[in-house]
Structure formats: C-alpha cells, structure tokens
Amino acid sequence: MQKITDSPIDFAEEIIEDVKNSKEEGVLKCVQCGMCTSTCPAALHSDYNPRDIIERVLDGDVSIIEDDCIWNCFYCYTCHSVCPVGNSVCEVNQILKQFAIKNEIGHDKLYEYMGFADSYFTAAIGAIPEIFFKDIDRDVPGWWDFRLHLDEIRKELDLNPPLMPSKEVIDEVSKILTITGFKDKIETIRSTQEDKNESNSR
Ligand code: SF4
Ligand code: SF4
C-alpha cells in the first residue's frame, strides 16, 4: 500500500462519494482550524487528533487506515456539531474504518464486539456482549441482578408490550442482515481474527 496517493484529492473524493458521507464535500472545505480537536473527548484522553485525520486525508495519506488512532473515535459527533464548514470527522472516521476492515485491518479491535453483532440475529436488537457483563456489574453494582429480573420488574410495573421483539421480527431482521451482506462481513472478521490468534499462539 502506498503512503501518499499520486493525486491526493482522490482519497478525499473516495470518502466524499461513500454512502456514509452525508455532507457534500465537507472534507474539502476543512480550514484546519482545530475546533474539532479542541472539543473531541478522544483527543483529550489520547494522542488522537481529528484535525490531523482530515489533514492526512487531504494529503492523500492512505496509510491512515493502518493507524491505530482511527479506532479511538467513538462517534460522539461533537466534532460534527462544532465544525464551522460543515465537515464531520466522525463520518470520515466511520468511512476510514470501513476501508480498514475491507483491507483486513483492525479486526482485532472489532473481535470483542462480535457478540453485539450476533445479537441482531438472536434478538433483532444490539445487545451488550456477554464478556462485558462482569465489568458493568463491577462499575454499576446490582446491574446484573436487575438485568436478570427485568421481565419480572416490567410485569410488576405493567409495562407492555414485551421488551424483546417477536420471533417473526427476529427472522425478518436476520434475513435483511443476511441479504445485505452483514452476516458475511461479521463471519469474515471473526474467522480472519481467529486465524491470526491461532497463528500467534503457535
Ligand atoms: S473543525 Fe472542521 S474545519 Fe476545523 S479542523 Fe476540524 S474538520 Fe477542519
Ligand atoms: S466523533 Fe470522534 S472525532 Fe468527533 S469528537 Fe467524537 S470522538 Fe472526537
């Protein structure tokens, strides 16, 4: 993979054309004012710098998709709301991460969240992966007990309809996710990461 594209603007154009990019040519309008960086919580707590992300995109620095820093953005949209020219580093990051995933980069970052993706097939909604339950219960004492008795609490409070979607809804959502390629994508991420884990353990 080359670091700087022959025509730097090609990289920005690729991002602009992506279906996830909702603002027309916002990337090209960046004036490097740094407002995004000054308000970004991820920048406050790490070396991550949203202004720098856009600078590298405009430089055609394709190697950014290999940089761990893009995974520090957690989509709070603060940068999106303060940018004076209507750019959204948040959306740019989402697109960069998809480029990375397509190039089999960052699968290790997603692997722990596969349980979240699986839950769309078993419950038609996103659910916290089981591996995080212990941590949540540690940080929010009593959370697990509350979660276990949620149905009883809802019944007591006369809350209807049931919290979980019906089997028909779950089947329909599963079909949509399969047809649109989501299922294949998570299976690819899971298998490539498991292969890497296995070869690292040898
Ligand atoms: S706030 Fe907007 S214009 Fe300013 S550096 Fe960030 S992306 Fe560029
Ligand atoms: S969406 Fe990402 S880049 Fe933007 S402010 Fe939040 S963490 Fe920072």
Q: Separation of 67 CA from ligand 1 center, angstroms? A: 20
Per-residue pLDDT reduced to its tens digit, 135-190? 999 999 999 999 889 888 998 999 877 788 899 999 999 999 999 999 999 999 99
The CATH superfamily label for domain 8-103 reads Alpha-helical ferredoxin (1.10.1060.10)
> Does the beta carbon of 146 lie inside 6 Å of ligand 2?
no
Q: For the chain, how are helix, strand and coil distributed in percent, rounded to 5?
A: 65, 0, 35
Q: Separation of 95 CA from ligand 1 center, angstroms? A: 17
Query: CA-based angle 55:92:13, to the nearest 5?
Result: 75
> Does the beta carbon of 78 lie inside 6 Å of ligand 2?
yes
pLDDT of residue 197: 85
Dihedral of CA atoms 108, 104, 193, 179 in degrees, nearest 10, equals: 110
Q: DSSP character for 85?
A: T
pLDDT of residue 24: 75
pLDDT of residue 1: 47
> Quick one: which atom of ligand 2 is closest to the CA of 78?
5
Q: Separation of 40 CA from ligand 2 center, angstroms? A: 5
Ligand nearest to the CA of 90: 2
Tell me the three state secondary structure of residue 140.
coil
> Does the beta carbon of 36 lie inside 6 Å of ligand 1?
yes
Task: Compute the distance between CA of residue 77 and CA of residue 198 in angstroms, rounded to an integer.
Answer: 37
Percent of the chain with pLDDT strictly greater than 90 = 64
Per-residue pLDDT reduced to its tens digit, 89-116? 999 999 999 999 999 899 998 988 898 9
Query: Higher model confidence: residue 195 or residue 178?
Result: 178
Phi, psi for 113 (deg, rounded to 5): -95, 5
pLDDT of residue 202: 78
> Domain residues of the chain, as ranges?
8-103, 108-201
Written as one string, the DSSP assignment of 25-40 is TTGGG-----HHHHH-
